[in-house]
Structure 1
């Protein structure tokens, strides 16, 4: 089986959740014997030119399956339309385009309109959570039979020792692109309210998606006098990321919206509990078996997040309980092979051509 994959040009340079998902899925497809031809498309997606995608699709032989990252495909429905009847177009939706926080109203409405048209040209739509699947079905009037779920997998990982080994202050990690959607500004404001407690925090992730937001975030950290306790190292990969995980006692996910939250399962794989906004598909990442390995907080609620952090910082027994619950979740997580197997079924389904 031959599959063409249309990916953002930064798939190998920006360690976003969507890019990691794409890479792991394509590696899994190759392991399953699928011959994958990649097309990496540079551009300011989702605002790139339709002509670049249309040119790629024009070169794909009739009847072939094409897996398209939604960040690239959903903004260019006119590129998909001429090929919808001759190719099996499968669009992977990581985050509905209009759900990105901070968009001006007219921009969000135009992206929503384009995404609706693009997804109606797809033979199948794959999402990363049940929540997202239900959302795009309702939002865009899609046939539920054409919308499928392939949750992210997770690799086995060693238990993170955190501060228990070093004897240092409890350490928090917020991992994700620094954007309004991920809510690092909410976390910094919450940390300012618990500054009398002992803690350190790292806000790690790509800083190029919204440079103005990063400037404002750094200014807020300085204004609250937290520069010595909150660090913004940029994107972490490889050994640097593993060291960050090993030092972490609590993952904080203060997102304004989240389709799944891959960092949640990555934390649980290491026995790290999670304080997360109760949004989107995060509940699917945290799981429902056994005690909650952390705490839910309302999105964009600084007071609620500060109260949750204060409880965790001030109560060693609570910290221990969350940790034990997180350790209990390690054996319930699914591998990436499961994700790729789900997707290959929809690539192989009968379709045009």
Structure 2
């Protein structure tokens, strides 16, 4: 196996699922004996400057087909690749093997410029690896791509959370509009007659304006004594937050997979997610969906729609049921404790990536 060069975006500084996946995948590949080099590509990806795109093109060997870039197989994070379709196409013409690792799809509307750049970049790739089945299915339908390999995230073993009294809810995600912490705060404001505490754990610097709105909503609802904003936490500080939790919340408007779901399950924590997102696939990875792909307990998927005025009430109803009924809490807990034994590890993720790289096919071309 030739050396692997992984090109990751240099502009994502907060803890994200994509960053975490990349880091654990690299560790897994190295554990399997692969020679992996990680390079952070500077630029405001996917909307990088011409200078940043030229720098990427050099790393791809796009401008020097004779000298090329050496024997390495290059894997480009999708956030970078979709911002540089010209460079991806030149690298393909130069005969270099360039794969794209896809964590998500672009949010632009059908036929929009971002969709077109995404299609060009992905069709120029030697192969495509997606971190979720939902992302692969979307790209197949959107661009007629086929043969996309899926390497689902693994999860690290973790101790079972001790929990707290009163029950403590945790939402681990950067404060961003897509993560919809405003909806969470609205829902929590509707159950103040019950005993509980909550923590929103994630960077408040990824989108300072949105973080300010979340703080204002907490204050306006009189929840300052019950809902904490911790900022981004790592290591022992994050472990303490997990250990204090009884329930995990991930009501994101869109999720390709939702690694927080499997991280929660590994700690014996039930998870409430938004129906119709990739977070439901994460539940299925632990056997917590039925034959039709619908969620079973303990992963309650709430039918929330962005902008739906009833969304906070629906989430509040689920939380009220869990808080107010000991039988529900016990049933969710039992199911989670069984599910956590079925979670895959990161070695399997790395093995899937190596298998894909060893058997390149027509993934990066359009379907006939």
Higher mean C-alpha displacement, 199-208 vs 264-273: 199-208
SS in 2 for 1:252: strand
Q: Match for residue 156 of structure 1? A: 157
1:21 is displaced (CA, Å) by: 0.1
User: Which of 92, 95, 101 is equivalent to 1:92?
Assistant: 101
User: Which of 326, 329, 345 is equivalent to 1:335?
Assistant: 345
Q: Match for residue 271 of structure 1? A: 268
Q: Match for residue 77 of structure 1? A: 85
Instruction: Deviation per CA, 1:138-172: give whole Å up to 9, x if none.
Output: 11221x22x11111000111111101xxxx21100
User: Which of 191, 194, 200 is equivalent to 2:191?
Assistant: 194
Name the CA shift for 1:52/1:351 in 2 (closer, same or farther; >3 Å): farther
1:220 aligns with 2:217: yes
- Superposed CA RMSD in Å reads 2.0
1:292 is displaced (CA, Å) by: 2.2
Q: Match for residue 48 of structure 1? A: 48
Stretches (4+) displaced over 6 A: none
1:63 is displaced (CA, Å) by: 5.7
1:350 is displaced (CA, Å) by: 4.3
The total of aligned residue pairs comes to 339
Q: Match for residue 28 of structure 1? A: 28
Instruction: Deviation per CA, 1:8-30: give whole Å up to 9, x if none.
Output: 2256x522110000001111111
1:238 is displaced (CA, Å) by: 0.5
Q: How does 1:128-277 map to 2 (within 5 A)?
A: 128-142=131-145, 144-145=146-147, 147-163=148-164, 168-277=165-274
SS in 2 for 1:6: strand
1:197 is displaced (CA, Å) by: 1.0
Instruction: Deviation per CA, 1:233-286: give whole Å up to 9, x if none.
Output: 111110011101100100001110111110100111111001111122222211
1:116 aligns with 2:112: no
CA distance in 2, matches of 1:80, 1:283: 32
CA distance in 1, matches of 2:287, 2:252: 23
Name the CA shift for 1:109/1:209 in 2 (closer, same or farther; >3 Å): farther
1:112 is displaced (CA, Å) by: 2.1
- Which structure 2 segments of 5+ residues have no match? 289-295, 306-310, 363-368
1:348 aligns with 2:361: no
SS in 1 for 2:272: strand
TM-score of the pair, normalised by structure 2: 0.87
CA contact (8 A) 1:39 1:56 kept: no
CA contact (8 A) 2:101 2:130 kept: yes
Name the CA shift for 1:2/1:336 in 2 (closer, same or farther; >3 Å): same
